[in-house]
Chain A
Amino acid sequence: MTAPVLRVEDLSVAFHTRNGVVRALDRINFAVDAGQTMALVGESGSGKSVTAYAIMGLLEEAGKITGGRALLSGTDLVACSPRALSRIRGRRIAMIFQNPRAALNPIRAVGRQIADVLLRHGGATAANAKQRAIEALQAVGIPDPARRANAYPFELSGGMCQRVMIAIAVAARPELLIADEPTTGLDVTTQAVVMDLIQAMAAETGMATILITHDLALAAERASRIAVMHAGHMVEDCDTATLLAQPRHPYTARLIAATPSATGRLEALQSVPGGLPDLRRNDLPPCRYAARCERRAEACDRVITMRDIAPHHRIGCWNPLEQAA
């Protein structure tokens, strides 16, 4: 058994705002192995992106990590100095963002943006950086890479820009890739091609991938493991097939029941009642799903911790759904 690439332990994040302290993440635990694709799934506001930004050390000024560790092959990213982190970011962990056109520098040719990363993290020299950038564009399947290297982001389609982002992200062969809604805003046809590319890159370099998405179907298709988040808590973490077939946390089951599938009718879909609780409250219930939950019991007033209910299947619930026979 190899050690995981990333192990997150009891990670908590709070944002200090004018209107109070927002407890955006509360004791998050998970691990990702090399070559594995894990999906973080949840509604907007569930803390998926905050998890990624906290790991990357990119939280904005108001956000503070209030506890826990994030170990990247043994290095605690939470304890790293900003300087050390900036050497790790781009080299050992890379991130691709939603809306690639906004994430790229609009006034720098894409070939040069790739060369910048190669020079800083990829061991390229001034002499060969340009050539290696062209090779990187070729590797992500951009036709006519020598010409496209001189193109600016506005001259490329959304799908092409995302390919450039992927080329930048994998330039230094990172151990971990965090893809934050990498295909939101792209057409389904482009989404499929971009996801194929990310997975091919992961297979080639053996990097671990965290796919952040609100689309449970995308996660089901691409990730071997899915962790469901709700209001800053992780509620269930399990291999994909089991999670979809036998969800044990009531929220996971609700989320699956609300997701349109390739068959099934509108009448059969059910919304998730209620909304996320206000995370600024001081008296947040131990289970942040309790107010929306139809299985709420007395036991739910105890502090929730993630526990194993089967090998590789963890939930944060005291009154889980029965296991189907």
Chain B
Amino acid sequence: MTTALLELESVSKRFPIGRHGLFRRGHVPHVHAVDDVSFTVGQGETIGLVGESGCGKSTLVRMITRLLDVTDGKIWLDRRAVSEVPAALFARDDDRGHIQMVFQDAGDSINPRFTAFDAIADPLRRLGGLRGEALRARVEEAAVQCGLPVELLERFPHQLSGGQRARVGIARAIGTKPRLLILDEPTAALDVSVQVTVLKLLQQLKAELGLSYIFVSHDLNVVRLLCDRVVVMYLGRIVETGPAQAVFDSPAHPYTRSLINAIPRLDGVRHTEGRLTGEPRSPIDPSPDVCRFYGRCPMGTDRCKTEMPPLHALPGHRQAACHFAA
């Protein structure tokens, strides 16, 4: 059994909407962006976080990276409750460098007026306090680890190819020797021809540096390749978790099944069962008694609108939140 690096305990985030201020009366509606999410990330483990846009993936990631405070629940990093540190102060926390993020499109997320060197050096200056020769040595080390030729370090983002920019984004994240890396669609902006090299680089870095990953992606074919376990979210809640291969081979939750059937397959065989029609339910003050997937679910019954199915354990270290999953 691996030891848990990151532990989420009933984490929720609710955003108030509508009018604020002195004259506001009565109940303030809230968007329930993340609702009662618990899972752990083991040392050296890769967790895939999947779900449609609006399911709360990004909010969850922002809480884990401590850019956003939790409304309820706790986040533990190596047995320390990092969620107790206000997001505003976490920037100067000792653990800041231990949680790093690789953003979706390195072309957009890197300052266009920074050279590759500056982009990689920035977190090292701020968090590691490195200067001069030590800084240069560490930047070059990170670049080499990511397969970025040292000659390219003086270039600006627009002078680099998409794959090289992705490497800068990864080098920047691993510079501070993090323990947990959050990868937000790291290959979404890349052509398939380069995607493979970046995925292989990520796998190699994980093995070399003993990193843990949370891999956020729409592309389930890619998630399947890289992840040990997956966490499937729908409207702020976890609907299914389990070992990646098992979940992809025999999804237990009807939402997961629809999601997997919707992936285009290279063999050209199309799966049309469980097409998701309609829109998700409103995330504003959702009823605690109705399954979040009710209304779009192909198997929804009366029970699903009077009793929210809890996330319950299934054989093979799996969990699903559906009355009908067994």
Cβ-defined partner of A220 (8 Å) among B192, B267, B276: B267
Q: Is B264 an interface residue (CB 8 A)?
A: yes
Q: Is A192 an interface residue (CB 8 A)?
A: yes
A281 to chain B, nearest CB (A): 17
Chain A residues numbered 213-241 whose CB sits less than 8 Å from any CB in chain B? 214-218, 220-222, 240-241
Q: Render A250-272 as a binary contact track against B, CB cut-off 8 A, 1 for contact.
A: 00001110111110011001111
B196 contact set on A, CB distance < 8 A: 258, 266, 269-271
Q: Is B277 an interface residue (CB 8 A)?
A: yes
A187 contact set on B, CB distance < 8 A: 52-53, 218
Q: How far is the CA of A158 from the CA of B279 in the complex (A)?
A: 11
- A191–B161 CB distance below 8 A: no
A48 to chain B, nearest CB (A): 12
B36 to chain A, nearest CB (A): 23
Most chain A CB neighbours (cut-off 10 Å) among B196, B222, B265, B266: B266
- B279–A157 CB distance below 8 A: yes
Closest to B196 in A: A271
Q: How far is the CA of A254 from the CA of B52 in the complex (A)?
A: 30
- B266–A259 CB distance below 8 A: yes
- A275–B277 CB distance below 8 A: no
Q: Is A141 an interface residue (CB 8 A)?
A: yes
Q: Is A143 an interface residue (CB 8 A)?
A: yes
Q: Is A319 an interface residue (CB 8 A)?
A: no
Closest to A292 in B: B193
Q: How far is the CA of A254 from the CA of B192 in the complex (A)?
A: 10
- A43–B193 CB distance below 8 A: yes
- A255–B192 CB distance below 8 A: yes
- A189–B276 CB distance below 8 A: yes
Number of A interface residues at 8 Å Cβ cutoff, please give it. 41
Q: Is A297 an interface residue (CB 8 A)?
A: no
Cβ-defined partner of A262 (8 Å) among B192, B193, B267, B272: B267
Q: How far is the CA of A241 from the CA of B267 in the complex (A)?
A: 8
Number of A-B contacts (CB under 8 A): 115
B241 to chain A, nearest CB (A): 19
A275 contact set on B, CB distance < 8 A: 161
Knowing A189-B52, A221-B270, A258-B195, say if A141 contacts B277 (CB, 8 Å). Answer: yes
Q: Is B197 an interface residue (CB 8 A)?
A: yes
- A255–B264 CB distance below 8 A: no
- A254–B266 CB distance below 8 A: no
B55 to chain A, nearest CB (A): 9
Knowing A187-B218, A190-B52, A193-B276, say if A259 contacts B203 (CB, 8 Å). Answer: no
Q: Render A193-206 as a binary contact track against B, CB cut-off 8 A, 1 for contact.
A: 10010000000000
B218 contact set on A, CB distance < 8 A: 187-188
Q: Is B171 an interface residue (CB 8 A)?
A: no
- B225–A260 CB distance below 8 A: yes
Q: How far is the CA of A44 from the CA of B188 in the complex (A)?
A: 13
Number of B interface residues at 8 Å Cβ cutoff, please give it. 41
A189 contact set on B, CB distance < 8 A: 52, 258-259, 262, 275-276
Q: Is B191 an interface residue (CB 8 A)?
A: yes
Cβ-defined partner of B221 (8 Å) among A44, A214, A261: A261
- B193–A256 CB distance below 8 A: no
Q: How far is the CA of A196 from the CA of B219 in the complex (A)?
A: 19
A57 to chain B, nearest CB (A): 28
Most chain B CB neighbours (cut-off 10 Å) among A141, A191, A240, A258: A258
Q: Is B312 an interface residue (CB 8 A)?
A: no
B224 contact set on A, CB distance < 8 A: 260, 262
- B225–A265 CB distance below 8 A: yes
Most chain B CB neighbours (cut-off 10 Å) among A158, A160, A190, A265: A190
Q: Is B199 an interface residue (CB 8 A)?
A: yes
- B193–A221 CB distance below 8 A: no
Cβ-defined partner of B267 (8 Å) among A188, A193, A196, A261: A261
- A188–B225 CB distance below 8 A: no
Cβ-defined partner of B192 (8 Å) among A193, A241, A259: A259
- B265–A188 CB distance below 8 A: no
B268 contact set on A, CB distance < 8 A: 220-221, 240-241, 244
Knowing A214-B191, A255-B192, say if A188 contacts B266 (CB, 8 Å). Answer: no
Q: Is B315 an interface residue (CB 8 A)?
A: no
Q: How far is the CA of A270 from the CA of B196 in the complex (A)?
A: 6
Cβ-defined partner of B197 (8 Å) among A256, A261, A265, A271: A271
B191 to chain A, nearest CB (A): 4
Knowing A266-B199, A266-B226, say if A216 contacts B192 (CB, 8 Å). Answer: yes
B282 to chain A, nearest CB (A): 12
Cβ-defined partner of A266 (8 Å) among B53, B200, B269: B200
Most chain A CB neighbours (cut-off 10 Å) among B258, B263, B270, B277: B263
Knowing A188-B218, A221-B270, say if A271 contacts B279 (CB, 8 Å). Answer: no
A190 contact set on B, CB distance < 8 A: 52, 276
- A188–B220 CB distance below 8 A: yes
B9 to chain A, nearest CB (A): 29
- A191–B262 CB distance below 8 A: yes
A244 contact set on B, CB distance < 8 A: 266-268
A152 to chain B, nearest CB (A): 17
Partner-B contacts on A (CB < 8 A): 43-44, 141, 143, 157-158, 160, 187-193, 196, 214-218, 220-222, 240-241, 244, 254-256, 258-262, 265-266, 269-272, 275
Instruction: Kindly list 15 other residue pairs between chains A and B, CB separation below 8 angstroms, not including A189-B259, A220-B264, A262-B265.
Output: A44-B162, A143-B278, A187-B53, A188-B259, A191-B264, A192-B261, A193-B277, A196-B272, A217-B265, A220-B268, A260-B195, A260-B225, A262-B224, A262-B267, A271-B200
* 29 residue pairs bridging A and B, Cβ less than 8 Å apart: A44-B162, A143-B278, A188-B263, A189-B259, A189-B262, A189-B275, A191-B264, A196-B275, A214-B191, A214-B192, A216-B192, A217-B264, A220-B268, A221-B265, A221-B270, A244-B268, A260-B195, A260-B219, A262-B221, A262-B224, A262-B263, A262-B266, A262-B267, A266-B199, A266-B200, A269-B196, A269-B200, A271-B194, A271-B197
